[in-house]
Chains A and B, each alone.
Chain A
């Protein structure tokens, strides 16, 4: 696996993979948006407001998924001191924060017409807000050191400690009373959501995932180029 994580090899394969990822992302998001806004039926209780689901739910899944990737990369970076793993974690953070913000605001816009309130301090909403602050805290911590490797180490430790929040988010709707509905797709037994809504939702979710993968590759390539640039400038400085 580490063969593909060598910086030069990474630049090589990610450059080849990128156009395919970008094309697949564009197709899935366009098809998903079309299905979500024009084809999927209105809900028998929620009417057209249910169309918020097609951005809220994929954003919510990505909020947790990206954090999982960030924590796993941080673990690899701490254990094997692999620089590309650090870059993967650091470049995931702003993307995860974006998905979490989208999840929170779209959820609020869905809550007002359906629950009659923009916000409640229950376990699901609060734990996702904590996730958002974990992303922001991670970004701040990584950039708080003059020595980049120390910032990376501190950030990696924070990312790993924050993993405790992920099961709390997932099971908060089962463990505590909440206005939020329980899981209807990733649950034991069959999904409880109608197929006519499930398919547009899954296409949007795969589109969001590929969007994340595409931007992560772009951002990791930028970060590796920046590292190479620093090395070249150091050489110039030493030669002068």
Chain B
């Protein structure tokens, strides 16, 4: 098959989404720019989570811990040490990665529901440490005054900054998922036993992936603090860990862009519905029920089922 055709078939959707994201601030109000900024940050968070869920086949209910570590690292460095935002981002990835390495070491020894429960337990552990450590983290008051530099202070410049960081993050994640390492994750998901018998140390690969996922969750968290001007312990809580789960399930966990599309649906609905009612969790619950019952593969799952994409689409057209 023509290489140009394969390239277009694979990348038209992310490229189109990127260009739509560029022109959005020119056509929507500032409120919606904030909403779309949130979509980008949470979309990166969900995509990072999906390395563990969609690609490796293990459900983590504790990725918010690494998101929170990233957010707090940036917050503390900016508020207490006046570090520039640019320097905080890689350090946040590093601290979140270290957190994921330490806690993930124990989690990857387990599978299935036990993995999910341990990730959640460790997430709660991080939450309580941050919640209780008043002298360092501000406890339940959180940290305020995490202001981005002046040129990023307004909604639109910060939106473009987020767009740039998230785009770079997503490109790196995409490369990882298409690499031999990414295929080894799929192999572990599909058949852990067979993967061991072809000579792969499954536990080691799961840990490396957990750390990579944690680092990118940390990057998303690092973008959140200056966006929201503050961070609070809730960012690490189990409820916040549920958001990327919802997003991945809504968008489609077996498609690279699924979690980002899930973030669009989830965050947009949240912003829209909370304008009318305070019962947002009721609405999100109903949406999840509909998604699980009517389209268990998420939005991309149903699109594939209807035959709009081949089984190997957007980054998966191969060996033609």
Do these two chains interact? no
